[in-house]
Structure 1
């Protein structure tokens, strides 16, 4: 079932400038005005695509997942079920459920090992290296706390100001800004950690699993010192550490580095 994407103008005063609320649009759909669902589609297809890409093992499936989710929600509403007020949470829950179901039934994987990538997921076949880094960034993003994912999406992908994004998360602009800073640093650390890979030497494992935070000076003084002593004596870990330091150099204190989060998460729209 396809979802029409035609815009739905306000049905009241022609001079009105306030957009209809989700609740009003849902009531119109229930009343037989199926075209009103087009406005909901336009309003939430972008965030729906974001959720589908981050929840799916194969981001190439995102468009199908979003389309199926919107169609399922529309069918539910027409049948007398579905959301009455909270359309966005209902839709995103449906998308996550469908993505997880597809993950369970699909044998395709975005990344099978450090040498094989699905280049179609984010870029052309002539950009395999950039694609590999993009996939690592997405995988790192998926492991962040949900609240961190939300704030990074609103601020760094959609480009909302703290005053705009704050109410969406129940935060003041200052608290939103502080949370965004912590989330960005958490993403940097997780992104670096994803480059460490699985330890090949068992005795190195307790140290390697903290390298992402270590390179970013994110550990306590004692923990930093323990890893430093180990890398001074271990040639393997010393080599891994050198690679991470080179990788994180462009990040600095405030920059994410390449690839950019927003470009990766919205690519393919």
Structure 2
């Protein structure tokens, strides 16, 4: 193996080095994971500092993320390439799960605000949720972003927007409905850490659509068959279902759904 820890590596050379190290970790070489840690620790810490304000929290987050990724690799799962992207995705999900857990375990002597029904909002979780929402919005087709901006942000009615888009008011209303549903699917999808095995990746890419009832019947059958035996994908489906129930009205599942595009 070449020396992948060299600081002069960049571009495809760095990617090739990561690929070699990942293969070595899967083969049981823990020293190779130490090299991956050295190569990507600074980037992971910088990313964590952008999500939390306390440096000690950021360091704990990075340590937990690297430990989680190592356990995944030792189990024969996880990335084969693009290690840093996978690491950052895992870090976001570790933060998200921590925030959800801590929200249930808030310690305080002041119980009065609970009597008043005031919910506890974790700042880190709120920032992460806003990041997910922004990414989902940016992933929408331009026409959907446009109609959402005009109707949801600017507060214009379909009749006001129709001349600007060259559509009838009814067509604008339908387009806005599809755009909102697409945004919900993509927002839910942001919470999914997709695994490397091809079938798990295929399922993970469709969990948002599954929860929103927007998968074609054939895809639904394939997804359900997979989650029946894959515990990890079943856990991801349960998580996305919980998030959907918390943020949106339950979507009425149909026997034969078609995509909203």
| TM-score, with length taken from structure 2 | 0.49
> Which gives a bigger RCO, structure 1 or 2 (Cα 8 Å, sep 6+)?
1
